[in-house]
Amino acid sequence: MKITAIKLYRFDIPLKAPIAISLGTIENARNILVEIQTDERITGWGEGSPFWMIVGETQASGLAAADDMARLLIGRDPLDIEGCIGAVTRYLPGHPTTRSAFDMALHDIAAKTAGMPLYQFLGGSKRSLITDETIYISSPERMVDDALRIQAKGAEAIKVKLGTTLRDDIGRVEAIRKAIGDTIPIRTDANQGWDVVTASGVLRAIGDWNVQYCEQPIKRHDIAGLRQIRRNTTVPIMADESLFDSTDAIRLVREEAVDYFNIKLSKSGGIFDALKINAIAEAAGIPCMIGCMSESRLALTANAHYAAARQNVRFCDLDGCFEHASDPIQGGITYSGYQIELPDAPGIGAEVDPAFLRQCPVTTIT
């Protein structure tokens, strides 16, 4: 089998409203869509959601990089996933989100060729996956309203974005906890917004309020600070922005800096490298979460296949499409409340609505 053509789409999805985290505000999902065509008429789809404030990529820079990556892959065997990913990684060692879209499309082709849903192709089986839902930074009153809405929908966990000041963030969690009661776990995420002193103060204050963990309390490079916070508080610490690849995973394990890993395909470079990260974590006794950026249900479906295929993935944060004003995907995962149901079609089992796709600017490389 040979890759004969690759189409690159500017994949813009409007949001219901802007969403705010400590690193900035997102107005729209400006994603990248990759379609890989082969001489055996098997097509693979992949999507990346570049968050410039996290991965250092924009849609424009990603599409420019994707043009070069696509030219490297024309004529190659798409089933040689390691060879294909190795080629683009050597040429452009950055751009993990863009690379992840190609990785996803290659895995889609491989699983379709094998006649298996992706979770089965990856060596797993269909299992129950439950996602949380995220509350973004706003006034305590607005965040309480969101928490009550999510609780009423039957959530088993609520994720709360923090990362401002000690007093304001303690107040946000306190208000939410008083409103929803003590039963539902709260998962906090500061997105690097605190320093060590502030993080320690906030986490000590909220430590008895059924807080399941805190994601990335401080700057991504401060591994010693993560280790210090972990030792000084009772809230488990999860690495997110500190964890891009297997090298980061080894360092975090060696430094005993965190309790959990947050793996995101858009951050790790795709499934091929995400499997390495989880293997390191599993060997070190560190459970993982599968997370997301602002992907459509196409990429969220691939993320869910990956999670189903690895028992060490204990938590799911696959709610990115909840903020989208439209859903351009056919097939893919479905949500029953917060339970995720995987498709059984070969490959990822999701494609883009042709009518929506016709609206997307496209570049074709042959």
Give the pLDDT score at 190.
97
> Is 156 annotated as belonging to a binding site?
no
Mean pLDDT of 76-93: 96
Q: What is the pLDDT of residues 145-180, one digit of tens each?
A: 999 999 999 999 999 999 999 999 999 999 999 999
Residues of the chain with CATH 3.20.20.120: 120-351
Q: What is the pLDDT of residues 303-355, one digit of tens each?
A: 999 999 999 999 999 999 999 999 999 999 999 999 999 999 999 999 999 99
pLDDT band at 26 (very low <50, low <70, confident <90, very high): confident
The verdict on whether 161 is a catalytic residue reads yes
**Pairwise CA distance, residues 79 & 14, whole Å:** 34
Residues of the chain with CATH 3.30.390.10: 3-116+354-365
Pick the catalytic residue from 219, 264, 267, 276: 264
**22 vs 80, which has greater pLDDT?**
80
**Residue 27 above 80 pLDDT?**
no
pLDDT band at 131 (very low <50, low <70, confident <90, very high): very high
Residues 6+ apart with CB under 8 A from 290: 263, 264, 303, 304, 306, 307, 313, 315, 316, 317, 318
Pick the catalytic residue from 161, 178, 219, 276: 161
Q: Can you identify the CATH homologous superfamily of domain 120-351?
A: Enolase-like C-terminal domain (3.20.20.120)
pTM of the predicted model as reported, rounded to 2 decimal places: 0.96
Q: Can you identify the CATH homologous superfamily of domain 3-116+354-365?
A: Enolase-like, N-terminal domain (3.30.390.10)
The verdict on whether 264 is a catalytic residue reads yes
Q: What is the pLDDT of residues 279-312, one digit of tens each?
A: 999 999 999 999 999 999 999 999 999 999 999 9
> Is 240 annotated as belonging to a binding site?
yes
**Pairwise CA distance, residues 323 & 19, whole Å:** 8
Give the pLDDT score at 21.
85
- Among 167, 165, 178, 169, CA closest to 209: 178
